Amino acid sequence: MPIRDLDPEKRDDAREVHNYIKALQHGVNRIMQDDFPLSSRLIREIHNELMQGVRGEHKTPREYRLSQNWIGGSMPSNASYVPPSHIHIPELITDLV
């Protein structure tokens, strides 16, 4: 079913899911077909694909976050999950790759 045929309230979600598929395929293609290594550059490319045409598309695609975020709750102290601080992201990405 084309996205335009979905209930308007579900279109944004459908676009984001579609982008997850495209972004994953982009990463696989770069690694398998282009023999491109897992790297910070590739992670940024995948993020760019993920953000195309969806909510947040203008919130610095290809860039790592610059502030603390969390899931659930109104602040980090009562959140369900608090990821590592933004100041540690470059070092953590380096460890990953």
Q: What is the pLDDT along the chain (97 residues), one digit of tens a residue?
A: 777 777 877 888 999 999 999 999 999 999 999 999 999 999 999 999 999 999 888 889 999 999 999 999 999 999 999 999 999 999 999 999 9
- Torsion from C-alpha of 88, 55, 16, 45, nearest 10 degrees: -50
d(CA 61, CA 50): 8
Whether this model's pTM surpasses 0.85: no
